[in-house]
Amino acid sequence: MLFEEAKLNGIELNHVIYSSLIDGFGKVGRVDEAYLVMEEMMQIGLMPNVYTWNCLLDGLVKAEEINEALVCFQSMKDLKCTPNQVTYCILINGLCKVRKFNKAFVFWQEMQKQGLKPNTITYTAMISGLAKSGNVAQASSLFERYRASGGIPDSASYNAMIEGLSIANRALQAYQLFEETRLKGCSIHTKTCVTLLDALHKAECLEQAAIVGAVLRETAKSQHAARSW
């Protein structure tokens, strides 16, 4: 045990040391060992703080052990440790990555009720998740709320919104966002261009389709040149 080794070497173990070990194991996918460290920590009378729990949750999410992360989150609350902004952001991002958007939205709402503010990464994950799952109205509302609060959408948010609007047959609205994305200097994915182009053709917006087609061809040329180089 780490505790016994530390005693032999005269090292006093504390939250920082245990949390760092849990974080380290989590980052390399060794979540079973991270759990063992936390168990040992509690056995010697050190109760994990919110930072410790966040380290374990982050490791579980990175390993795509999302169900185990949810169990861990409940254990955290059962042990009277209050989740913070980082806790919710870790869970929301993880749930969105495995396409559990409805559950992510539940945590999003819970986070708001606790008076905790999402960070940029969490906004992006939620906007992308809602848009890709077909909840375009909610995604648009969240996108606008984020901008109104002074947030600056990134490439992932723009691409997700353009694709979502295109799939929802809101071609002109998607095209307006496409133009805004270009003006902001954000990259537009090839898949996004193809999805938008298809929506514009269906809506018979031929002028806009020609512009998107030109951008798509230019992107393809650039990618080909980069590979050749």
Gyration radius (Cα) of the chain, Å: 23
What is the rounded average pLDDT of the residues 178-194?
93
Residue 57 lies in a domain: yes
Q: Residue 73 is part of which domain span?
A: 1-82
172 in any annotated domain: no
3 state SS of 150: coil
223 band by pLDDT with thresholds 50, 70 and 90? low
Report if residue 185 sits inside a domain. no
Please report whether residue 50 resides in a domain.
yes
Task: Establish if 62 belongs to a structural domain.
Answer: yes
Q: Which of 45, 70, 56 is nearest to 21 (CA)?
A: 56
pLDDT above 70 for 73: yes
Q: Is the pLDDT of residue 222 over 80?
A: no
Percent of the chain predicted with pLDDT > 90: 59
Q: Within a domain: residue 36?
A: yes
Distances (CA, A) of 139 to 28, 44, 113, 145, 214: 33, 47, 19, 10, 28
Residue 188 lies in a domain: no
Domain-embedded: residue 49: yes
Q: Binning pLDDT at 50, 70 and 90, where does residue 99 land?
A: confident
**∠ CA 185-183-210 to the nearest 5 degrees?**
110
| Nearest CA-CA partner of 26 in 49, 60, 2, 69 | 60
The string of pLDDT tens digits covering residues 26-53 is: 999 999 999 999 998 899 899 999 999 9
User: Among all chains, which residue has been given the structure tokens 């980082």?
Assistant: 86
Please tell me the total count of domains within the chain.
1
